[in-house]
Structure 1
C-alpha cells in the first residue's frame, strides 16, 4: 500500500475485522456492544432519527436521547458493509446523493484539531489530507496525504478533509468519524462516507450522516472501540422487517 494511503476500513489502525470482509451474515456484528441506529421514513427521505444502544449479554437497550440527523439529499440506498447484500431497494452508487443503508463498522474519528477527547482512534486532519472520490483512481475510497502521494493522486478529488481551509471556513469536518462503507473500494460503489456536523436541520448531505455539534460530541465521548461499535441506517419499514433476523434493537 502506498505511503499514508488508508482504506476507509480500519483507518489509522482501528480494525474490527478478522481478516476477510464480512458481507455474509449478521454474526459479523454479534460481538458488538454499541450500536448507533438511524431510521428514516423511506428510501427518499433526506433526514432521520439517530438513537444509541448498548448490549450486555443478548439484549440491546437504549442509551441516551434520540437526536435528529440529515442524510443524503436523495435519501438512502443499500450499501456495502457488514450486512448481507439486499436487492429490494436502490443500490448505492458513486455520486447518487444517497447515504448507504445497512450495518457498518465505525472507523476512526477525525477533526481539525490535533487531538480530541475520545477513546476512538483519532486523526488530526491536515490541509494536504484528501479522501479520493474519483472511482477510476487506484486510491478510490482511500484517505491520502497529498504531500506523500503527490498532486496527481488527488487530481479530481472533491473531498478535501480540511474543509475550513479549502472551503471558506466550512466546519462540517471539524469533528466526525468514518462509516466504513465499501471498505474494499469496489469501483463506483460509493466512497468517503462519514458522520459529520450539519450546516442546518434542513441541509442534507451528499451521502453522509450529519448532526449538531453537541450530538457529535456526545457520540465521540460515548464510543468505545473495545465494544466494537457499529452504525446502522435503514428506512423504518426495512428496519422492522429485518430486526429479528439481524438482531437489532426494538424500535
Structure 2
C-alpha cells in the first residue's frame, strides 16, 4: 500500500496537504508493512484497551512483539465503529463525525505532528512542527475536510480557521501521531482528525482518538521508522480473533 501525498496551493490562501491511498484494497496486511501497532478492545462499546508493538524483518516472517508489556490506552467515549482503512471491513456500525467512537480496522500511520522543534531523541519518522497557522478541518462541509492545511494569513484568514486550528496550547496535543482513517478517498462525514495523542486522564476517553500516557506515546514515536511502513490495527477482541488469520495478524495474548 502506497501513500501519495500531494501539495496544493489554493486561491483562498490555504496550503492543503492531502493524500490518497491505492483504491485496490489488500485482503491482508501488506508485506511492505514491517511495524504493526495493535490495540484490542474488550468489545465495541469499550472505551479502554491495550496496545502492543510488533515488528518483522520482511513480509514473509512472523510478527514478533517489541518489549514485554502492554500499553494502556483509551478510545472514544462511546467505544468503536468500523473505520475506513486499507483493508475491507464488514458492513455494520460505521464511524461518523462526532459520534464519539474510534475507528476500527487497519490504518497507515501518516505523519507525527507536535509543538516541539524536533522529534524526541532517537526518532526517525516523518515530522511537522505545528505552527500557529496549521489546521485540520472536521466540518464535513469544509472543502479541506480531514486534511492538514496551512493558512497563509497574507491572503486572508478563513472564517472557520479559529475552530479548526491545531495549535492552541492544549497539552494533550503536544504530540499527534496521524492515524490515516478516511484518508483516500475522503468521505465527508465519515470521521476526521484521528490521532494517537496524550490522554487527559486515566479515565477520560477521547472523542475518537487513541490516547495514552505521554511517556508511552513518546516511546511509540521513538520506535516508529519510516522505512518500516508502520500501520495501526484496532479491533474488538471477537473481531480480532475473526480476522487474525485472513489479515495475517500476530497473536495478542
Shorter-chain TM-score: what band?
A: 0.7 to 0.9
1:138 counterpart SS class = coil
The yes-or-no answer on 1:151 pairing with 2:157 is yes
Aligned length: 234
2:246 counterpart SS class = helix
Aligned-pair CA distance for 1:156: 7.0
Aligned counterparts of 1:177 and 1:25: Cα–Cα separation in 2: 25
Deviation string, structure 1 residues 90-127 (Cα, Å, up to 9, x no partner): 10111111111000000101110121132111010112
Aligned counterparts of 2:243 and 2:114: Cα–Cα separation in 1: 34
Q: Which of 107, 126, 150 is matched with 1:104 structurally?
A: 107
Question: Superposed, which structure 2 residues align to 1:1-251 within 5 Å?
Answer: 1=8, 2=10, 3-7=14-18, 9=19, 20-26=22-28, 29-56=30-57, 57-64=60-67, 65-87=69-91, 89-117=92-120, 118-147=123-152, 150-152=156-158, 155=160, 158-164=163-169, 170-183=170-183, 184-251=185-252
- Change over 3 Å in CA distance of 1:94–1:23 after alignment to 2: farther
Aligned counterparts of 1:68 and 1:111: Cα–Cα separation in 2: 22
Backbone CA RMSD of aligned residues? 1.8
Aligned-pair CA distance for 1:62: 0.8
Aligned counterparts of 1:60 and 1:235: Cα–Cα separation in 2: 20
TM value normalised by structure 2: 0.87
2:55 counterpart SS class = strand
Deviation string, structure 1 residues 179-219 (Cα, Å, up to 9, x no partner): 00001221111111010000111010101100011111111
Does the 8 A contact of 1:23 with 1:85 survive in 2?
Answer: no
- Change over 3 Å in CA distance of 1:44–1:150 after alignment to 2: farther
Deviation string, structure 1 residues 120-178 (Cα, Å, up to 9, x no partner): 110101122111001011101011123357432x61774431131xxxxx211111210
Does the 8 A contact of 2:27 with 2:246 survive in 1?
Answer: no
Q: Which moved more, 1:52-61 or 1:235-244?
A: 52-61
Stretches of 4+ moved more than 6 A in 1?
Answer: none
Does the 8 A contact of 2:116 with 2:129 survive in 1?
Answer: yes
Aligned counterparts of 1:243 and 1:6: Cα–Cα separation in 2: 33
Does the 8 A contact of 1:75 with 1:98 survive in 2?
Answer: yes
